[in-house]
Amino acid sequence: RTPIAVLISGTGSNLAALLRAAEEPGCPYDVVGVIADRPAPGLEHARAAGIPTDVVRLADHPDRPAWDRALAEVVTRWNPELLVLAGFMKLLGPPLLEAFGGRILNTHPALLPSFPGAHGVRDALAHGVKITGVSVIEVDAGVDTGRILAQAAVEVLEDDTEATLHERIKAVEQPLLVNVVQRLAAAL
């Protein structure tokens, strides 16, 4: 099984989906560690599954490069072959990009290249699009600019709020992300 590390900042519903899939006998990956940039509630999913976790906060480091290095140290300690950003709300710095170039995935709650950044759902809603969705991409140094690996569409409903729309996007996002991670892990 290909060892993967997952990076999160939030509730970790995508992490939970990755962990559930990993319990199936034929799954081609194992989650070997979960790291967060804050005490994210989603870390509980990893703890419940007995998977090592760590929190590396930007505020605990003198500057961004020092935080980048600390993050890379923790991640590489687990020897993963693939990194999955599952609701990780910070940009990765050079240490991880160089160590894992082409083997870092991110999931984003919009149809890229539309609505990149931290508020994909809110921005799509504000723009008034009728169809939005989710994109699973390869991470590069830009903000959601990497190669698109998979997408799925979600209809925007008349009375949607950011929360209701994001909920429906997540329902589509979780199986899509699991599918892409399984595909890439199987090929490594």
Binding-site residues from annotation: 12-14, 64, 89-92, 106
Q: Mark the binding-site residues for (6R)-10-formyltetrahydrofolate, compressed into ranges.
A: 64, 89-92, 106
For residues 77 and 175, which CB has a smaller minimum distance to ligand GAR in the complex?
Answer: 175
Residue 126 within binding range of ligand GAR, rule CB under 6 A: no
Taking each helix axis from N to C end, the angle separating 13-22 and 162-187, rounded to the nearest 10 degrees, works out to: 40
**Beta carbon of residue 159, minimum distance to ligand GAR (angstroms, whole number):** 20
Token digits of residue 60:
């605990």
Residue 146 within binding range of ligand GAR, rule CB under 6 A: no
> Interacting stretch for ligand GAR, rule CB under 6 A, among 6-14, 58-66, 75-83, 93-101?
6-14
Give the bridge partners for 31, in sequence order. Answer: 4
For residues 12 and 95, which CB has a smaller minimum distance to ligand GAR in the complex?
Answer: 12
Between CA 34 and CA 29 the distance in angstroms is 14
> Interacting stretch for ligand GAR, rule CB under 6 A, among 30-38, 64-72, 105-113, 145-153?
105-113
Residue 36 within binding range of ligand GAR, rule CB under 6 A: no
CA distances from 151 to 109, 111, 121, 136, 179 (A): 10, 7, 15, 6, 11
Q: Which of 45, 61, 108, 119 is catalytic?
A: 108
The 131-138 sheet, strands edge to edge:
53-55, 29-36, 2-8, 82-85, 104-108, 131-138, 148-155
Dump the DSSP string for 63-75.
SHHHHHHHHHHHH
Chain centroid offset of residue 26 CA: 22
Task: Lay out the site mask for ligand GAR across 7-26 (x = CB under 6 A, - = otherwise).
Answer: -x-xxxxx------------
> Interacting stretch for ligand GAR, rule CB under 6 A, among 60-68, 73-81, 83-91, 180-188?
83-91
Residue 170 within binding range of ligand GAR, rule CB under 6 A: yes
Token digits of residue 4:
């993967």
- 108 a catalytic residue: yes
Between CA 146 and CA 143 the distance in angstroms is 8
Q: Which residues are catalytic?
A: 108
Binding positions for ligand GAR, rule: CB under 6 A: 8, 10-14, 42, 86-87, 89, 107-109, 118, 120, 170, 173
